[in-house]
Amino acid sequence: MRFRTLLSNPNLLLRVVQSIDKLSKSAVLKLTAEKLHIVVITDIGSGLQLWSDVAVNALFTDYQIESLHNNEIYLEFSIDNLQRALKSAQGALKTTLKLTKKQGLPILSLIIQNQSTTGREITLCQDVPVRVMTPLQMEAIREPLVPDSQVHIMMPPLNSLRSIAERIKGMGDRVAVSANREGAMKIRVANDLVDITTFFRGLENLAYDSTQDPPTQPDREPGDFYTAVVDMKNFIRFLQSYHVAPKNIVCCIIEHHAVVFYVYIGSAGYGGVSEINDQACGSLTYFIPVRQV
């Protein structure tokens, strides 16, 4: 097993890790020849899962990976430890990332080269302890299978949602996310004293695959709303994805089952439906189960 590369975009990798910081203490890193994957599965009480991938060429140069398992490597790591190491690499002249051992224990080592104010070269080594996982252990970690969504819609700007969430997060432990097929979305929170709904209109609905019929519901019109009630904490955790400056975010509502948010990482700015995958270098997918009101 061998892994060594130059980390050419430490800022992007840091932003991905910052997006998952509030989800859990640890995560799984899956390294392949073409992509870096990070998987977070929270506790049963939360139910939230995050599956992310970033293209290797968006993060690394001189990328070398070898293993007996289709050149794939699986590592469990502390999110806080990796985040701290990546912060040290910001602005560095050169950062080498490699899998090695120290005192017989596997570590992901960042060798950071920089320059002092006097021009002297400085080398800093940041070691992140990891647990090497077997293919059998990784096989047990499966991306959730979810039914077809009744509606999928482009989300409004994340900063708007974060501002709303800050105001309503103390008003209840559940939030209702609703959308229809006419470009409208609602975010609602209610308790014994207040009932607050925020409306968004003029959003874009994604077209269904032309080879398949869209899911139908009896007595439902395009303007009717589909709703999923989820934990407020999980909704707030999803909003941490602002760190990656998402290009687009798609919300898929599966009534009585889950909300799935697809966060596309790309150049700054909102591109619209036609540009979802244009220049996108990766994505974060949040699976959030529904809760009873």
pLDDT by residue (tens digit) across 150-209? 999 999 999 999 999 999 989 989 999 999 999 999 999 998 898 999 999 999 998 765
More confident residue, 213 or 93: 93
Note whether 112 and 95 are within 8 A (CB).
Answer: yes
Question: What type of residue sits at position 262?
Answer: Y
State the Cα–Cα distance between residues 234 and 189, nearest whole angstrom: 14
pLDDT at 276: 44
pLDDT at 218: 59
**What is the enclosing helix (H) or strand (E) of 130?**
strand 121-133
Half-sphere exposure of 134 (CA within 13 A, CB side): 2
pLDDT at 42: 86
Q: Tell which residue, 147, 158, 185, has the closest CA to residue 284.
A: 158
Note whether 27 and 76 are within 8 A (CB).
Answer: yes
Mean pLDDT of 78-93: 95
Confidence of residue 293 (pLDDT cuts 50, 70, 90): low
pLDDT at 269: 37
Give how far Cα 75 sits from Cα of 2, 23, 32, 292, Å. 13, 18, 12, 35
